[in-house]
Each structure stands twice: as C-alpha cells, then as structure tokens.
Amino acid sequence: MDLVYAQQVAEEAVVITRAIPIDGAALIKVAALFGAGICMGIGAIGPAIAEGFIGGKALEGIARQPELQGSLTRTMILADAIAETTGVYSLIIAILLIFLFAF
C-alpha cells in the first residue's frame, strides 16, 4: 500500500518538475541560495564554539580569583566580539549571495 502511494507521488513529482522550465538563471539562483545556507551553517559553527569556550574559561578564572571579575569580564566580552566577527563576515557573504544572485 505504501509502495503504491510512493510510486504515485513520485510520478506526480516527475510530471510537475517537467512542466517547470529550468534554465541557467534558475540554476544560478538555486546555487546562490544553497551557497548562502551553507555559508551561514558552517560560518556560525566556529563562533559558537569559540564563544562557549571563551565564556567557560572566563567563568573558571572568576571562580579561581573572584577579585579579578571586572577585568576578566571585560576581556571575555572583547574576545567574544572578536570571535563573532567571522560569523558576521559569513552573514555578509550570505546576504550578498542572496541579494546579488537570487533576485
């Protein structure tokens, strides 16, 4: 029963996709949107890991020497801002891909 339904859906998908004309411009749009998604997906992993690591080490330092809390917090915020720049760069590239090639 499920196999018959899957075959019907596949046949309908083939009929629908054959009715859609695919040219070079459509492929460029698809590639740009796919590239933007991959760019943000991979570009957000590094800053997330780095910021978590920085925050954890700052908390360890504050736990060991509470009197240095202000200095460690300022340093942690600066390091987080620097780590976030790669995420911002990948966001800019993704936005450029979307607005320059997809529209």
For 7-21, the pLDDT digits (tens) are: 888 888 888 877 777
Give the pLDDT score at 1.
58
Q: Is the pTM of this model over 0.75?
A: no
Delineate the domains of the chain, giving CATH numbers in brackets: 24-102 (1.20.20.10)
For 47-90, the pLDDT digits (tens) are: 999 999 999 999 999 999 999 999 999 999 999 999 999 999 99
For 93-102, the pLDDT digits (tens) are: 999 999 998 7
Closest CA to 58 of 79, 74, 77, 76: 76
Is residue 91 within 8 A of residue 40, CB to CB? The reply is yes
